Amino acid sequence: MEFSQSHRVEMISMAVALVAIVGGTAYYYYVTKKPKGCLDPENFKEFKLVKRTQLSHNVATFRFDLPTPKSVLGLPIGQHISCRGKDSLGEEVVKPYTPTTLDTDVGYFELVVKMYPQGRMSHHFREIREGDYMAVKGPKGRFKYQPNQVRALGMIAGGTGITPMFQEELDAFAIKFPNQFKVYYVLNQPPEIWDGGVGFVTKEMIQTDFPAPASDIKILRCGPPPMNKAMAANLEALGYSPQMQFQF
């Protein structure tokens, strides 16, 4: 499936993606033998913003330099970072974000951020400019993927909740591993030419595209609270136990 730049922006802004991975090791082949990262789980460290790319009126990509061109962030798959900034009143605010880059992307890391009108950290991202520094701490998070941890993974991601799942080009993996990796996009406001799903993710979509409930599969979900609640209900109705699910 190929998309224009405008369609890619729409997916970042509005999409819910269903991703099914059979034999998860194919997707996470790069997790071994990683060099030491730059993050500190206890203390904030400063990273320079070197490029800001506006994707839509309220979504942008922020690229931050690491200390050297060969440095890696050191963020395990499934983990996130804490970013510190100031809101419109000048008060400190800390919020978790998941970079869309991996440790195979050396020398920098990127965040895709949707900036909400009343969001406290959104204000900081609206105001930050190239050359400014961002305080970051990590890794953080309860989920940490290990190769061969499960036989198959299913991922449900809504809006910018796609970032924990994204961390590589989803479409590229679907092409490279057609028998192991499948992605299905659902848009609530699709363009005129669109062959994906329309509306919201349904039980029928999950049943069609996801691995069946089993002790050796894991369903990951991340998105707005109403979506998470609805997907939890759908998964439970289809027989996925709490042990088979994880919410970021």
User: H/E/C letters for each residue in the chain?
Assistant: CCCCHHHHHHHHHHCEEEEEEECHHHCCCCCCCCCCECCCCCCCEEEEEEEEEECCCCEEEEEEECCCCCCECCCCCCCEEEEEEECCCCCEEEEEECCCCCCCCCCEEEEEEECCCCCHHHHHHHHCCCCCEEEEEEEECCCCCCCCCCCEEEEEEEHHHHHHHHCCCHHHHHHHCCCCEEEEEEECCCCCCCCCEECCCCHHHHHHHCCCCCCCEEEEEECCHHHHHHHHHHHHHCCCCHHHEEEC
End position of a domain, from candidates 140, 162, 197? 140
Question: Domain for residue 39, yes or no?
Answer: no
Question: Domain for residue 36, yes or no?
Answer: no
- How far is the C-alpha of 248 from the C-alpha of 228, rounded, in Å? 10
- How far is the C-alpha of 88 from the C-alpha of 70, rounded, in Å? 36
| Among 4-18, 42-56, 87-101, the least confident range | 4-18
Phi, psi of 111 (to 5 degrees): -120, 135
Same domain, 173 and 149: yes
End position of a domain, from candidates 140, 173, 208? 140
Asked if 114 contacts 160 with a C-beta cutoff of 8 angstroms, the reply is: yes
Residue 109: beta bridge partners? 64
pLDDT tens by residue, 74-133: 998 889 999 999 999 999 999 999 998 988 899 999 999 999 999 999 999 999 999 999
Same domain, 210 and 227: yes
pLDDT tens by residue, 149-186: 899 999 998 877 777 776 577 888 888 988 888 888 89
- How far is the C-alpha of 206 from the C-alpha of 208, rounded, in Å? 5
Predicted local distance difference test score (pLDDT) of residue 17: 67
Q: The domain that contains 229 carries what CATH number?
A: 3.40.50.80
pLDDT tens by residue, 189-238: 888 999 889 998 999 999 998 999 999 999 999 888 899 999 999 999 99
End position of a domain, from candidates 140, 168, 193? 140
Same domain, 59 and 149: no
Q: The domain that contains 132 carries what CATH number?
A: 2.40.30.10
Predicted local distance difference test score (pLDDT) of residue 23: 54
Tell whether the model's pLDDT for residue 1 goes beyond 80.
no
Same domain, 198 and 242: yes
Question: Domain for residue 38, yes or no?
Answer: no
- How far is the C-alpha of 155 from the C-alpha of 136, rounded, in Å? 26
Question: Domain for residue 235, yes or no?
Answer: yes
Same domain, 164 and 199: yes
Closest to 99 (Cα-Cα) out of 73, 131, 133: 73
Same domain, 133 and 155: no
Q: How far is CA 214 from CA 34, 218, 247, in A?
A: 31, 8, 18
- The residue among 188 and 52 whose pLDDT is bigger is 52
Residue 39: beta bridge partners? none
Domain extent for 66: 45-140
Give the confidence band of 143 by pLDDT, cuts at 50, 70, 90: confident
Here the tokens at position 24 are: 């998860």
Number of domains in the chain: 2
